[in-house]
Structure 1
Amino acid sequence: MVSDFRCFRYVFSWCFLINACYFAVCSFAEDRFTRGQSIRDGDIIISGGEIFALGFFSPQDSGLRYVGIWHYRTTNESVVWVANRERPISGNGGVLTIGNNGNLVIMNGNGDEVWSSNLTVPSSNSTATLMDTGNLILHENENSNRVLWQSFDHPTDTYLPEMKVHFSDEETRVFTSWRSAIDPSPGNYSMGVDGRGRPQIVIWEGMNRRWTSGHWNGLIFTGIPGIRAMYLSGFRVLNDHNGSYFTYTQSDSSDLIKFRLSWEGVEQQERWIDERNQWVPIQSHPLDECERYNICGPFGKCNQTDEIKCRCLEGFVPTDTDEWSRGNRSGGCTRRTNLQCDTDAFVEVQNVKLPDFVGHVGPEDIEDCENMCLQNCSCIAYAFVSGINCMIWYQDLVDVQQLVDGGSSLFIRRARSELGGKNDVTRTVVVTSAVVGGFLVCVLIWLLLKRNKKCSGISNGNEMPRVSPSGEFSRDFSGPSDISVEGQQATGSELAMYNFNIVAAATGNFSSENKLGQGGFGHVYKGTLPGGQEIAVKRLSRKSGQGLEEFKNEIMLIAKLQHRNLVRLLGCCIEAEEKLLLYEYMPNKSLDSYLFDSDKKSQLDWIKRFSIIEGIARGLVYLHRDSRLRIIHRDLKASNVLLDEEMNPKISDFGMARIFGGNQNEANTNRVVGTFGYMAPEYAMEGLFSIKSDVYSFGVLLLEIIIGRRNNSFRSTEYPNIIGYAWDLWEGGKAIELVDQSILKSCPEEQVLRCVHVGMLCVQDIAARRPNMPAVVLMLESENATLPVPRRPTFVSMRHNLDDNAWTENQDGVSSNNVTLSVILGR
Structure 2
Amino acid sequence: MGITGRNPVGIFLFLFLFISYFLSLFCQAANTITQGQPIRDGQTVISEGQNFELGFFSPANSSSRYVGIWYYSLPEKAVIWVGNRESPISDQSGVLWIGENGNLMVLDGNNKSVWSTNASIPSQNATAALNDEGDLILSGSDNKVYWQSSNDPTDTFLPGMRVQVNAEMGENRAFTSWKSANDPSPGRYSLGVDPRASPQIVVWEGEDRRWRSGHWDGRIFSGVPNMTGNYLYGFGLSDLENGSRYFTYTPSNAADKLRFRIRWDGYEEQLRWQKDTGNWSVIQSQPANQCELYNKCGDFAVCSASDSAICSCMKGFVPKYTDQWNKGNWSGGCMRSTQLQCQRNVSNIAEETDGFFDLMCMKLPDFPDLMVVDSDETCEGMCLQNCSCIAYAEVNGIGCMIWKRDLVDVQHFAKGGNKLRIRLAHSELVLPTVSSISCCKYKQDKPIFEASKSREFSTDLSGSVDLAIEGNETSRPELPLFNFNSVVIATNNFSEDNKLGEGGFGSVYKGRLPGGQEIAVKRLSRRSVQGLEEFKNEIILIAKLQHRNLVRLLGCCIQGEEKMLLYEYMPNKSLDGFLFDSSKQALLDWRKRFTIIEGIARGLLYLHRDSRLRIIHRDLKASNILLDEDMNPKISDFGMARIFGGNQHEANTNRVVGTYGYMSPEYAMEGLFSVKSDVYSFGVLLLEIITGRRNTSFRLSEYSSLIGHVWHLWHEEKAMELVDPSIRDTCSRDEALRCIHVGMLCVQDSAAQRPTMSSVVIMLESEATALPLPRQPTFTSMRSSFVDTESCMEGHEIVSSNDVTVTMVFGR
| Structure-2-length-normalised TM-score | 0.53
Q: Is the 8 A contact 1:102 1:124 kept in 2?
A: yes
Q: What residue is the counterpart of 2:411 in the other structure?
A: 401
Name the amino acid aligned to 2:136.
L
Q: What residue is the counterpart of 2:647 in the other structure?
A: 635
- Report the CA distance between 1:322 and its aligned residue: 2.4
Relative to structure 1, the CA distance from residue 80 to residue 358 in structure 2 (aligned partners, 3 Å threshold; closer, same or farther) is: same
Q: Is the 8 A contact 2:267 2:285 kept in 1?
A: yes
Distance in structure 2 (CA, Å) of the matches to 1:408 and 1:42: 54
Q: Show the 5 A alignment for 1:179-190.
A: 179-190=179-190
Q: Is 2:166 the partner of 1:168?
A: yes
Q: What residue is the counterpart of 1:237 in the other structure?
A: 237
**Alpha-carbon displacement from aligned partner over 1:52-88 (angstroms, at most 9, x marks no partner):** 0000011111111110000112222411101111111
Distance in structure 2 (CA, Å) of the matches to 1:326 and 1:628: 31
Distance in structure 2 (CA, Å) of the matches to 1:413 and 1:273: 49
Q: Is 2:293 the partner of 1:292?
A: yes
- Match of 1:218, SS state, is coil
- Match of 2:65, SS state, is strand
**Alpha-carbon displacement from aligned partner over 1:398-456 (angstroms, at most 9, x marks no partner):** 0011111311111000111122279xx99xxxxxxxxxxxxxxxxxxxxxxxxxxxxxx
Name the amino acid aligned to 2:392.
Y
- Report the CA distance between 1:629 and its aligned residue: 11
Q: Is 2:54 the partner of 1:66?
A: no
- Match of 2:382, SS state, is helix
Distance in structure 2 (CA, Å) of the matches to 1:399 and 1:645: 46
Distance in structure 1 (CA, Å) of the matches to 2:284 and 2:121: 41
Q: What residue is the counterpart of 1:621 in the other structure?
A: 615
- Report the CA distance between 1:187 and its aligned residue: 1.1
- Report the CA distance between 1:27 and its aligned residue: 3.6
Distance in structure 2 (CA, Å) of the matches to 1:122 and 1:283: 44
Q: Is 2:361 the partner of 1:351?
A: yes
Name the amino acid aligned to 1:162.
G
- Report the CA distance between 1:392 and its aligned residue: 0.6
Distance in structure 1 (CA, Å) of the matches to 2:214 and 2:205: 17
**Alpha-carbon displacement from aligned partner over 1:730-758 (angstroms, at most 9, x marks no partner):** xxxxxxxxxxxxxxxxxx9978989999x
Q: What residue is the counterpart of 2:396 in the other structure?
A: 386
Q: Is 2:148 the partner of 1:147?
A: no
RMSD: 4.6
Q: Is 2:238 the partner of 1:228?
A: no
Q: Is the 8 A contact 1:166 1:242 kept in 2?
A: no
Name the amino acid aligned to 1:153.
N
Relative to structure 1, the CA distance from residue 130 to residue 751 in structure 2 (aligned partners, 3 Å threshold; closer, same or farther) is: farther
Q: Is 2:264 the partner of 1:263?
A: yes
Q: Show the 5 A alignment for 1:496-535.
A: none
**Alpha-carbon displacement from aligned partner over 1:645-704 (angstroms, at most 9, x marks no partner):** 99979699xxxxxxxxxxxxxxxxxxxxxxxxxxxxxxxxxxxxxxxxx99xx9xxxxxx
**Alpha-carbon displacement from aligned partner over 1:499-531 (angstroms, at most 9, x marks no partner):** xxxxxxxxxxxxxxxxxxxxxxxxxxxxxxxxx
Q: Is the 8 A contact 1:312 1:332 kept in 2?
A: yes
Count of residue pairs the alignment pairs up: 488
Name the amino acid aligned to 1:410.
L
Q: Is 2:191 the partner of 1:158?
A: no
Q: Is the 8 A contact 2:120 2:146 kept in 1?
A: no
Q: Show the 5 A alignment for 1:713-724.
A: none
Distance in structure 2 (CA, Å) of the matches to 1:362 and 1:629: 51
Distance in structure 2 (CA, Å) of the matches to 1:756 and 1:121: 71
Q: What residue is the counterpart of 1:211 in the other structure?
A: 211
Q: Is the 8 A contact 1:103 1:122 kept in 2?
A: no
Q: Is the 8 A contact 1:27 1:46 kept in 2?
A: no
- Report the CA distance between 1:380 and its aligned residue: 0.4
Q: What residue is the counterpart of 1:331 in the other structure?
A: 332
- Report the CA distance between 1:630 and its aligned residue: 8.0
Distance in structure 1 (CA, Å) of the matches to 2:118 and 2:313: 52
**Alpha-carbon displacement from aligned partner over 1:485-505 (angstroms, at most 9, x marks no partner):** 869xxxxxxxxxxxxxxxxxx
**Alpha-carbon displacement from aligned partner over 1:150-174 (angstroms, at most 9, x marks no partner):** 1011001111111000011221111
- Report the CA distance between 1:96 and its aligned residue: 0.7
Q: Is 2:247 the partner of 1:253?
A: no
- Report the CA distance between 1:90 and its aligned residue: 1.6
- Report the CA distance between 1:334 and its aligned residue: 0.3
Distance in structure 2 (CA, Å) of the matches to 1:225 and 1:635: 23
- Report the CA distance between 1:259 and its aligned residue: 0.6
Q: What residue is the counterpart of 2:113 in the other structure?
A: 113
- Report the CA distance between 1:306 and its aligned residue: 1.3
Distance in structure 2 (CA, Å) of the matches to 1:778 and 1:249: 34
Structure with the greater alpha carbon radius of gyration: 2
Distance in structure 2 (CA, Å) of the matches to 1:299 and 1:116: 48
Distance in structure 2 (CA, Å) of the matches to 1:283 and 1:265: 14
Distance in structure 2 (CA, Å) of the matches to 1:354 and 1:648: 50
**Which of the numbers 373, 380, 383 marks the counterpart of 2:383?**
373
Distance in structure 2 (CA, Å) of the matches to 1:326 and 1:646: 43
Q: What residue is the counterpart of 1:316 in the other structure?
A: 317
- Report the CA distance between 1:136 and its aligned residue: 0.4
Q: Is 2:129 the partner of 1:129?
A: yes
Structure 2: runs of 5+ lacking an equivalent: 1-15, 343-347, 435-447, 450-468, 475-535, 538-603, 619-636, 653-664, 680-736, 747-754, 770-812
Q: What residue is the counterpart of 1:705 in the other structure?
A: none
Name the amino acid aligned to 1:412.
I
Relative to structure 1, the CA distance from residue 194 to residue 147 in structure 2 (aligned partners, 3 Å threshold; closer, same or farther) is: same
Distance in structure 1 (CA, Å) of the matches to 2:741 and 2:217: 44
- Report the CA distance between 1:623 and its aligned residue: 9.6
Relative to structure 1, the CA distance from residue 83 to residue 638 in structure 2 (aligned partners, 3 Å threshold; closer, same or farther) is: farther
Percent identity for Structure 1 against Structure 2? 45
- Report the CA distance between 1:139 and its aligned residue: 2.0
Q: Is the 8 A contact 1:155 1:174 kept in 2?
A: yes
Q: What residue is the counterpart of 1:663 in the other structure?
A: none
Distance in structure 2 (CA, Å) of the matches to 1:360 and 1:232: 26
Q: What residue is the counterpart of 1:35 in the other structure?
A: 35
Relative to structure 1, the CA distance from residue 339 to residue 78 in structure 2 (aligned partners, 3 Å threshold; closer, same or farther) is: same
Relative to structure 1, the CA distance from residue 172 to residue 630 in structure 2 (aligned partners, 3 Å threshold; closer, same or farther) is: farther
Relative to structure 1, the CA distance from residue 391 to residue 44 in structure 2 (aligned partners, 3 Å threshold; closer, same or farther) is: same
Distance in structure 1 (CA, Å) of the matches to 2:154 and 2:164: 15
- Report the CA distance between 1:33 and its aligned residue: 2.0
Distance in structure 1 (CA, Å) of the matches to 2:229 and 2:425: 37
- Report the CA distance between 1:254 and its aligned residue: 1.3
Name the amino acid aligned to 2:165.
F
Q: Is the 8 A contact 1:350 1:408 kept in 2?
A: yes
Q: What residue is the counterpart of 2:100 in the other structure?
A: 100
**Alpha-carbon displacement from aligned partner over 1:551-593 (angstroms, at most 9, x marks no partner):** xxxxxxxxx99xxxxxxxxxxxxxxxxxxxxxxxxxxxxxxxx
Relative to structure 1, the CA distance from residue 235 to residue 373 in structure 2 (aligned partners, 3 Å threshold; closer, same or farther) is: same
Relative to structure 1, the CA distance from residue 246 to residue 224 in structure 2 (aligned partners, 3 Å threshold; closer, same or farther) is: same
- Report the CA distance between 1:328 and its aligned residue: 2.3
Distance in structure 2 (CA, Å) of the matches to 1:323 and 1:651: 43
- Report the CA distance between 1:148 and its aligned residue: 1.7
Distance in structure 1 (CA, Å) of the matches to 2:669 and 2:50: 58
Relative to structure 1, the CA distance from residue 310 to residue 126 in structure 2 (aligned partners, 3 Å threshold; closer, same or farther) is: same
Q: Is the 8 A contact 1:361 1:388 kept in 2?
A: no
Distance in structure 2 (CA, Å) of the matches to 1:221 and 1:651: 41
Name the amino acid aligned to 1:414.
L
Structure 1: runs of 5+ lacking an equivalent: 10-25, 427-468, 471-481, 488-559, 562-612, 653-693, 699-747, 758-774, 791-827
- Report the CA distance between 1:204 and its aligned residue: 0.9
Q: Is the 8 A contact 1:779 1:787 kept in 2?
A: no
Relative to structure 1, the CA distance from residue 753 to residue 234 in structure 2 (aligned partners, 3 Å threshold; closer, same or farther) is: farther
| Structure-1-length-normalised TM-score | 0.53
**Which of the numbers 417, 425, 438 marks the counterpart of 2:427?**
417
Q: Show the 5 A alignment for 1:787-798.
A: none
Distance in structure 1 (CA, Å) of the matches to 2:404 and 2:124: 55
- Match of 1:390, SS state, is strand
- Report the CA distance between 1:249 and its aligned residue: 0.6
Distance in structure 1 (CA, Å) of the matches to 2:323 and 2:247: 44
Distance in structure 2 (CA, Å) of the matches to 1:244 and 1:65: 36
- Match of 1:290, SS state, is helix
Distance in structure 2 (CA, Å) of the matches to 1:367 and 1:99: 62
